[in-house]
């Protein structure tokens, strides 16, 4: 009942509010569904109010780091834009990246960066934002660009030994990390290959803008920002910190600080414009830098499409996302503490009749928990714990379970508007989840590929004796 109610409310919210559905209406829908869930749970004796409050506390404490990261991503986006770092990357990227191969290049670049960093969030918040600007300037629709960025970032995140989700999926079911990564290649490489082929075909068919349009954008950038080559130091130093495995929160904070210093040194006129009248000199620039970090900014470049691109929202622009994450966490806590998730999953397990149906059930549950629990990490852990005994009883190796989890729970989280991943990437890129969802080919082809490989791979069937009694 709570799940059906939530889906119905979200459908009404999206149809009525459209792009503004994440500004408050979706949060209310999540809280209403949570209230119904808790009322049923208490009335039926499944839980007490105290247990519900404790569950909320546990869930919120688990996402506290994600909230800090979100705030820092908002600050980073504003600082890198106004300092001229992102405009500099866009300016030179338009010269380097061939429009025909742009989508493929964006996907591969994000994949490589994500493998090295182990974080799709960091990849999208840094190089992803720059690639989005380049793609828009080249005339591509933002949904296609975001789809390429997200597909590449989640491919890299999925196979990187530095990724927390990769480590979590393998450790939850007891699979050695590199055994897990090697086994994922049988499904991940074909899926990524298909994704690149699709983006290549679109690049050939769509073509690019005329040279005059590209020159117009570059001219507007160079007249609005001081595109000093010294600005390259900011992304280079950020890449160095990532390579040294500095924690994500520290990287985002220091990268923001570096960009603010660069803005004071190279974009003093822009900071004065953002700060407004009332102060002079260094105080004026300090005020401008602070507004860039926490507030919204808008600059007139003379090109309407470019004005939208260089506009920033800072930390305050992330508050709706954080609000939504908190409400989604409450719903996940309610579904977990009332054991409604367990009841639904037991029904799914009763449908298992063999290896293929077991893998399909695992993929479905990974996706389903992303919808219900609204959290990627919770989906990975619950799916692993739920199916571990079943795989063992059927004589199947843990690596099959860990791969099936990664092919579903890890990559589909970004496709759910109210999931923490979906909300984050939508806010970071400024592209709604429903706008980029159709173009994240890697993310929704992965669960299909894991079932297909299970159906045709004879070695999987021979791992152990399959007994469905």
Residue where a domain terminates, one of 343, 377, 412: 343
Residues 85 and 108 in one domain: yes
Residue 309 CB contacts under 8 Å (≥ 6 apart), including other chains = 132, 133, 136, 137
Q: What is the DSSP string of 417-439?
A: TTSHHHHHHHHHHT--HHHHGGG
Look up the domain containing 336 and give its range.
Answer: 1-61+319-343
Rounded to whole angstroms, how far apart are CA atoms 2 and 227? 53
Residues 258 and 132 in one domain: yes
Residues 70 and 206 in one domain: yes
Residues 192 and 310 in one domain: yes
Domain-located, residue 378: no
pLDDT, tens digit, 9 for 90 and up, residues 144-196: 999 999 999 999 888 887 677 887 788 778 888 788 888 999 999 999 999 99
Residues 97 and 173 in one domain: yes
For the chain, percent of residues with pLDDT exceeding 70 = 93
Which comes out higher in pLDDT, residue 147 or 10? 147
Domain-located, residue 398: no
Domain-located, residue 381: no
Q: Is the pLDDT of residue 326 over 80?
A: yes
Residues 258 and 339 in one domain: no
Rounded to whole angstroms, how far apart are CA atoms 396 and 389? 10
Q: Is the pLDDT of residue 468 over 50?
A: no
146 near 439, Cβ under 8 Å? Answer: yes
281 HSE (CA, 13 A, CB side)? 1
Residue 113 CB contacts under 8 Å (≥ 6 apart), including other chains = 123, 126, 127, 153, 156
Domain-located, residue 349: no
SS3 273: helix
Residue 118 CB contacts under 8 Å (≥ 6 apart), including other chains = 157, 160, 161, 162, 163, 164, 166
**Predicted TM-score (pTM) above 0.85:** no
SS3 278: coil
Mean pLDDT score across all residues of the chain: 83
Which of 15-24, 281-290, 294-303, 346-355 shows the highest mean pLDDT?
281-290
Residues 253 and 146 in one domain: yes
Q: Is the pLDDT of residue 140 over 80?
A: yes
Residues 74 and 165 in one domain: yes
Number of domains in the chain: 2
Domain-located, residue 84: yes
The separation between CA 144 and the C-alpha centre of its own chain, rounded to angstroms, equals 15
Domain-located, residue 16: yes
pLDDT, tens digit, 9 for 90 and up, residues 212-237: 466 777 788 888 889 888 998 998 89
Residues 224 and 121 in one domain: yes
Number of residues written out for the chain: 469
Residues 155 and 205 in one domain: yes
Neighbours of 240 (CB within 10 A): 11
Residues 150 and 35 in one domain: no
Residues 255 and 219 in one domain: yes
Domain-located, residue 432: no
Domain-located, residue 383: no
């Amino acid at each position: 009942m709570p799940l059906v109610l939530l889906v119905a409310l979200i459908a009404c919210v999206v149809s009525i509010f459209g792009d503004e559905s994440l500004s408050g209406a979706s949060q209310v829908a999540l809280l209403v569904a949570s209230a119904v869930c808790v009322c049923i749970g208490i009335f039926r004796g499944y839980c007490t109010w105290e247990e519900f409050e404790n569950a909320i506390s546990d869930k919120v404490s688990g996402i506290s780091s994600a909230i800090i990261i979100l705030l820092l991503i908002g600050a980073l986006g504003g600082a890198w834009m106004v300092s001229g770092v992102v405009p500099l990357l866009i300016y030179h990227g338009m010269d380097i990246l061939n429009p025909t191969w742009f989508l493929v290049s964006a996907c591969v670049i994000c994949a490589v960066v994500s493998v090295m960093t182990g974080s799709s969030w960091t990849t999208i918040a840094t190089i992803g934002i720059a690639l989005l600007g380049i793609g828009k300037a080249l005339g591509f629709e933002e949904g296609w660009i975001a789809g390429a960025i997200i597909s590449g970032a989640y491919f890299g995140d999925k196979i990187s030994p530095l990724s927390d989700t990769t480590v979590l999926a393998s450790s939850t079911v007891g699979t050695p990390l590199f055994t897990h990564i090697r086994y994922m290649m049988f499904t991940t490489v074909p899926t990524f290959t298909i994704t690149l082929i699709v983006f290549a075909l679109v690049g050939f068919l769509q073509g690019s803008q005329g040279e005059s349009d590209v020159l117009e954008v570059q001219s507007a950038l160079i007249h609005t920002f001081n595109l000093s080559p010294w600005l390259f130091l900011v992304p280079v130093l950020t890449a160095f910190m990532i390579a040294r495995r500095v924690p994500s929160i520290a990287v985002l904070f220091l990268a923001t600080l570096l960009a603010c210093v660069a803005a004071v040194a190279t974009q003093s006129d822009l900071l004065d414009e953002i700060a407004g009248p009332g102060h002079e000199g260094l105080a004026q620039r300090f005020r401008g830098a602070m507004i860039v970090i926490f507030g919204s900014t808008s600059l007139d470049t003379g090109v309407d499409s470019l004005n939208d691109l260089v506009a920033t929202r800072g930390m305050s622009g992330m508050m709706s996302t954080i609000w939504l994450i908190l409400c989604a966490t409450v719903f996940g806590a309610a579904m977990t503490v009332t054991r409604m998730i367990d009841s639904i999953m037991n029904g799914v397990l009763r449908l298992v009749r063999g290896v293929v149906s077991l893998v399909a059930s695992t993929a479905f549950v990974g996706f389903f928990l992303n919808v219900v629990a609204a959290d990627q990490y919770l989906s990975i852990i619950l799916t692993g714990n739920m199916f571990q005994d079943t795989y063992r009883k059927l004589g199947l190796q843990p690596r099959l379970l860990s791969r099936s989890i990664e092919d579903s729970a890890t990559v589909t989280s970004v496709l759910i508007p109210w999931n923490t991943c979906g909300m984050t990437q939508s806010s970071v890129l400024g592209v709604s989840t429903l706008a980029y969802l159709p173009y994240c080919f890697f993310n929704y082809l992965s669960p299909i590929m894991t079932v297909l490989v299970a159906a045709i791979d004879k070695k999987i069937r021979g791992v152990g004796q399959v007994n469905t009694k």
